[in-house]
């Protein structure tokens, strides 16, 4: 760890001190401590901090954020996660999907108007830059909101000592395993072993109703969050309110958000632990020794008497299980998100830019690593990124996936064309021979209704048996099939109103949902937001490998929503144009037969040799955000 002015620092007793003079305590704001590991590491950050600065604005405000790329060699884009960008399709920030990457020295003006209050976040959408530190919270407030001093942000991430801007690239190159979580950070702070590194402390008054906004900003891990002894009154997920639900623990997948208050009615003032565990495998077992820790200081400024309720119920209620029975955890009650009910406020929201039609389509999308190739893919299609900006250069795209079929994997720029105004039902499945782990699936450009989740069966021994509602293949058993062309086993369910247990009355809304191992999630949107919207697993490694596709939505209506002068970008192939009406025959009409073409592939290791060696005067590599608010 290093302070730009004081130099190297070390951690002791939750504080940091200058290495050259141990009597100098260094302010925490000046140093990114991560888990206090005794090494100095360049990170990729916004405004020199990890997490980056929290951006606050009010709903329906127009915000302009200038992202200035001050890196020397790396392109960036910034995605505003959870903002549906209704009518702002060019502001979604996905490299080669909604824009050209912002090259070193360039800037990009992101201007858009978030309509709904809630907890959102921003992060790089180039490769795995997010894991190198490039993310932060994005909070859209209501006009009559909880005062800011009573709002607290909890950003959870796993940490590996290779998660630096240089080390992670080298690890990628060498195929090193970076999936091991060495520690867990809360707002960028954690500890490694027992090194007593600084941790986050939240202070609340026992008589106030403080709001906690929790975000999983991590790379891949599923976290179990709790404050032992204190129940959580959960009110919102992914920016959308639902009927309050009181739980003891929350499972949070990458990119999800949960907003909650604390149930302090029976609590004594004092210091409580906030604990975060990593959940591993299909049964979500607590992993290893690694523990995320922060402190909750409950004060009682009014000194009123707190009544104790006496003994606590020994049952534990857990929100967001990917099954309805928790394997090997007796006395545990699971509440999957499909059991949450929207409240009246979120049912009144309008999500349409275009009018709805009577048409309806159903898509089955299977997420996994189908054998024999084992690609991260959707319906066996490993996503290949376009080399042009899909939104501004649609005619230059090749989205053909013709080499794929129901049992054959392929690599292509997978896209789904959604008919303007139509109702879209998606059955997101996680079955077949490539199903190994639950996937948190994120859709850009929309929030979706969660109509139903189908779970695997958990036996008394704690074994998990895959759900049988999905038919992967007319010939093969589900476990033998790639499941690229699934359907309902009961064909009458193709009319979704016939699906048992489907909630069309008050479904909860989300933008990121777990597709349970051995199960499925049924979601619904209307194709009323013209754009090209990315949809992908939010486990960074899976996305980078190709578990992604593009939703090509109402494209005939796109032009009026694109700003003038949106940049274009493409490869230069130096292929001369073929003259019209001039049939090419054998011979060398253009002399090309005499050309020797040498293909050189520039691989990641070339990049890692040259990148990241200079930027700001500080050690971190920085982007500059200039944030301005208009139209309050
Ligand atoms: Cu995944």
Cα 632 to ligand 1 centre (Å): 39
Residue 3: predicted pLDDT: 80
Query: What is the pLDDT at residue 119?
Result: 98
Nearest to 352 by CA among 189, 206, 211, 554: 554
Q: Please check the confidence at residue 602 and state whether its pLDDT lies above 70.
A: no
**Ligand 1 centroid to residue 433 C-alpha, Å:** 15
pLDDT of residue 316 exceeding 80, the answer is yes
Q: Which has the higher per-residue pLDDT, 167 or 293?
A: 293
How many angstroms is it from 318 CA to the middle of ligand 1? 22
Q: How far is the CA of 435 from the centre of ligand 1 (A)?
A: 10
**Rounded to the nearest whole angstrom, what is the distance from the C-alpha of residue 334 to the centroid of ligand 1?**
22
Strand-by-strand arrangement of the 512-515 sheet? 415-418, 548-553, 531-537, 439-443, 512-515
Residue 572's beta-bridge partner residues? none
**Amino acid 495: pLDDT:** 96
Share of the chain above pLDDT 90, in %: 72
pLDDT tens digit string along 536-571? 999 999 999 999 999 999 888 899 999 999 999 999
Give the tens place of pLDDT for each residue, 352-372. 889 999 999 999 999 999 999
Contacts of 454 (CB under 8 A, 6+ apart): 467, 469, 470, 516, 519, 520, 521, 522
**Distance, CA 369 to ligand 1 centroid (Å)?**
9
Please determine, for residue 15, whether its predicted confidence score (pLDDT) is greater than 90.
Answer: yes
The pLDDT of residue 619 is above 60 = no
Q: 71-80: per-residue pLDDT in tens?
A: 888 899 999 9
pLDDT of 580 reads 55
What count of other Cβ atoms lies within 10 Å of the Cβ of residue 618? 15
Using the mean position of ligand 1's atoms as its centre, give its distance from the Cα of residue 220 in Å: 8
Distance of alpha carbon 412 from the chain centroid: 23
What is the reported pTM? 0.90
Centre of ligand 1 from the C-alpha of residue 3, in Å: 37
Q: Report whether 51 contacts 621 (CB < 8 A).
A: no
C-alpha 394 – ligand 1 centre gap (Å): 27
Q: How far is the CA of 473 from the centre of ligand 1 (A)?
A: 22
CB 26 within 8 A of CB 16: yes
DSSP 170: H
DSSP of 544-600 = HHT-EEEEEESGGG-GGGSPTT---------PPPPPTT----SS-TTSGGG------
- Residue 434 CA to ligand 1 center (angstroms) comes to 11
Asked whether 188 and 49 are in contact (CB, 8 A), the reply is: yes
Residue 579: the pLDDT is: 57
More confident residue, 383 or 172: 383
Widest Cα–Cα separation across the chain: 96
Spatial distance between the Cα atoms of 458 and 336, rounded to a whole number of angstroms: 14
Residue 322 DSSP symbol: S
Helices (DSSP H) in 119-228: which residue ranges? 167-174
Interval 139-152: pLDDT, tens: 999 998 899 999 99
Mean pLDDT of 423-440: 97
pLDDT band at 303 (very low <50, low <70, confident <90, very high): low
Q: What is the pLDDT of residue 563?
A: 95
- The secondary structure of residue 308, as a DSSP letter, is P
pLDDT of residue 567: 95
In this structure, what is the dihedral angle of CA atoms 8, 193, 121, 429, given to the nearest 10 degrees?
140
- Determine the distance separating the centroid of ligand 1 and the alpha carbon of 314, expressed in angstroms: 34
Average confidence (pLDDT) over 584-607: 39
Confidence category of residue 7, pLDDT binned at 50, 70, 90: confident
Q: How confident is the model at residue 128 (pLDDT cuts 50, 70, 90)?
A: confident
Write down the pLDDT at residue 617. 29
What's the 538 CA to ligand 1 centre distance in angstroms?
6
Q: What separation in Å is there between the alpha carbon of 284 and the centre of ligand 1?
A: 15
Structural contact between residues 281 and 288, judged by C-beta atoms closer than 8 angstroms: no
pLDDT, residue 630, reads 32
* Residues 445, 93 contacting (CB under 8 angstroms): no
CA 77–ligand 1 middle distance (angstroms): 22
CA of 537 to the centre of ligand 1 (A): 4
What distance in angstroms lies between residue 343's CA and the mean position of ligand 1's atoms? 30
> 542 CA distance to ligand 1 centroid (A)?
5
Phi and psi at residue 107, to the nearest 5° = -135, 165
Q: Determine the distance separating the centroid of ligand 1 and the alpha carbon of 539, expressed in angstroms.
A: 5
239 falls in which pLDDT band (50, 70, 90)?
A: very high
Bridging pattern class, strands 270-280 and 285-299: antiparallel
User: Residue 253 C-alpha to ligand 1 middle, in angstroms?
Assistant: 10
Query: Which contiguous run of DSSP H or E holds residue 154?
Result: strand 151-159
Question: So what's the pLDDT on residue 301?
Answer: 76
| Residue 24 DSSP symbol | -
Residue with the bigger pLDDT between 218 and 22: it is 218
Span from the CA of 526 to the centroid of ligand 1 (angstroms): 25
What's the confidence (pLDDT) of residue 628?
33
User: How far does residue 521's CA lie from ligand 1's centre (Å)?
Assistant: 14
Tell me, in angstroms, the distance from the centre of ligand 1 to residue 191's CA: 27
Q: Report how far ligand 1's centroid is from the alpha carbon of 540 (Å).
A: 8
Query: Per DSSP, what are the bridge partners of residue 581?
Result: none
pLDDT at residue 623 is higher than 60: no
Q: How far is the CA of 547 from the centre of ligand 1 (A)?
A: 7
Looking at 91-105, 187-201, 295-309, 404-418, which range is the least confident one?
295-309
Mean pLDDT (the chain) is 88
Q: In whole angstroms, what is the distance from residue 511 CA to residue 83 CA?
A: 9
Ligand 1 centroid from CA 549, angstroms? 13
pLDDT at 341 > cutoff 70: yes
89 close to 63: Cβ distance less than 8 angstroms: no
Residue 313 has a pLDDT of 60
Q: 256: CA distance to ligand 1 center in Å?
A: 14
> Using 50, 70 and 90 to split pLDDT, how confident is the model at 172?
confident
* C-alpha 15 – ligand 1 centre gap (Å): 37
Residue 441 Cα, ligand 1 centroid: separation in angstroms?
7
What's the CA-to-centroid distance between 440 and ligand 1, angstroms? 6
pLDDT score of 95 more than 80: yes
Q: What is the pLDDT of residue 351?
A: 82
| Residue 446 clears pLDDT 70, i.e. is over it | yes
pLDDT at 312: 54
**Euclidean distance between CA atoms 342 and 83, whole angstroms:** 19
Measure Cα distances from 612 to 83, 125, 483, 511, 609 in Å: 30, 18, 42, 33, 9
Give the pLDDT confidence score for residue 334 in this predicted structure. 96
Structural domains present in the chain: 52-345 (2.60.40.420), 350-561 (2.60.40.420)
Distance 108 CA to ligand 1 centre (A): 30
Gap from CA of 543 to ligand 1 centroid (Å): 7
* pLDDT value, residue 555: 86
pLDDT single digits (tens) 220-233: 999 999 999 999 99
pLDDT tier for residue 594 given thresholds of 50, 70 and 90: very low
Measured in Å, residue 298 CA sits from the centre of ligand 1 at 38
Structure tokens at 48: 């020199």
Assess whether pLDDT exceeds 70 at residue 505.
Answer: yes
Is the pLDDT at 578 greater than 70? The verdict is: no
Taking the centre of ligand 1 as the mean of its atom positions, its distance from the CA of residue 536, in whole angstroms, is 8
> Beta partners for 457?
465
């Amino acid at each position: 760890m290093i302070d730009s002015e004081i130099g190297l620092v070390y951690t002791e007793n939750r504080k940091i001190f200058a290495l050259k003079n141990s009597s100098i305590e260094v302010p925490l704001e000046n140093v990114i401590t991560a888990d206090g590991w005794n090494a100095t590491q360049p990170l990729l950050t916004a405004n020199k901090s990890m997490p980056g600065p929290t951006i606050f604005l009010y709903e329906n405000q127009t915000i302009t954020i200038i992202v200035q790329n001050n890196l020397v060699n790396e392109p960036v884009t910034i995605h505003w996660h959870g903002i549906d960008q209704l009518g702002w399709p060019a502001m979604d920030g996905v490299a080669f999907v909604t824009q050209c990457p912002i090259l070193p020295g360039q800037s990009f003006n992101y201007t858009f108007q978030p309509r709904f209050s809630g907890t959102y976040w921003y992060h790089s959408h180039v490769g795995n830059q997010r894991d190198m530190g490039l993310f932060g919270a994005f909070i859209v407030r209501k006009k009559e909101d909880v005062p800011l001093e009573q709002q607290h942000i909890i950003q959870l991430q796993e940490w590996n000592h290779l998660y630096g801007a240089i080390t992670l690239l080298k690890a990628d190159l060498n195929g090193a395993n970076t999936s091991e979580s060495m520690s867990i950070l809360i707002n960028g702070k954690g500890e490694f072993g027992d090194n007593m590194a600084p941790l986050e402390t939240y202070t609340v008054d026992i008589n106030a109703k403080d709001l906690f906004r929790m975000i999983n900003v991590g790379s891949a891990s599923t976290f179990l969050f709790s404050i032992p002894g204190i129940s959580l009154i959960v009110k919102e997920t992914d920016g959308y309110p639902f009927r309050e639900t009181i739980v003891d623990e929350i499972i949070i997948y990458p990119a999800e958000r949960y907003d909650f208050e604390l149930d302090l009615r029976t609590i004594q003032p004092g210091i409580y632990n906030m604990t975060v565990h990593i959940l591993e495998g299909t049964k979500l077992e607590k992993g290893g020794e690694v523990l995320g820790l922060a402190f909750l200081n409950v004060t009682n400024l009014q000194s009123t008497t707190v009544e104790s309720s006496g003994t606590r119920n020994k049952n534990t209620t857990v929100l967001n299980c990917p099954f309805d029975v928790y394997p090997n955890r007796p006395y545990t009650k699971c509440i999957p998100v499909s059991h949450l009910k929207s409240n009246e406020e979120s049912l009144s929201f309008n999500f349409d830019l275009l009018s709805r039609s009577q048409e309806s389509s159903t898509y089955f999308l299977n997420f996994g690593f189908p054998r024999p190739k084992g690609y991260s893919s959707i319906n066996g299609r490993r996503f290949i990124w376009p080399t042009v900006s899909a939104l501004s250069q649609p005619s230059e795209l090749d989205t053909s996936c013709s080499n794929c079929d129901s049992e054959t994997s392929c690599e292509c720029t997978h896209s789904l064309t959604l008919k303007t105004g139509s109702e879209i039902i998606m059955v997101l499945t996680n079955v077949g021979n490539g199903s190994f782990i639950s996937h948190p699936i994120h859709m850009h450009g929309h929030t979706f209704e969660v109509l139903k989740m189908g779970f695997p069966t958990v036996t008394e021994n704690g074994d998990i048996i895959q759900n049988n509602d999905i038919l992967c293949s007319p010939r093969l058993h589900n476990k033998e099939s790639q499941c690229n062309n699934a359907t309902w086993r009961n064909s009458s369910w193709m009319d979704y109103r016939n699906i048992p247990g489907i909630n069309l009355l008050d479904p909860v809304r989300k933008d990121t949902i777990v597709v349970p191992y051995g199960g499925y999630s049924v979601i619904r949107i209307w194709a009323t937001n013209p754009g090209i919207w990315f949809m992908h697993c939010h486990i960074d490694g899976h996305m980078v490998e190709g578990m992604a596709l593009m939703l090509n939505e109402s494209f005939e209506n796109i032009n009026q929503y694109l700003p003038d002068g949106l940049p274009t970008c493409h490869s230069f192939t130096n292929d001369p144009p073929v003259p019209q009406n001039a049939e090419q025959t054998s011979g060398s009409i253009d002399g090309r037969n005499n050309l020797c073409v040498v293909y050189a592939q520039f691989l990641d290791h070339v990049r890692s040799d040259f990148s990241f060696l200079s930027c700001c005067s500080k050690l971190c590599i920085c982007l500059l955000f200039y944030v301005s608010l208009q139209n309050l």
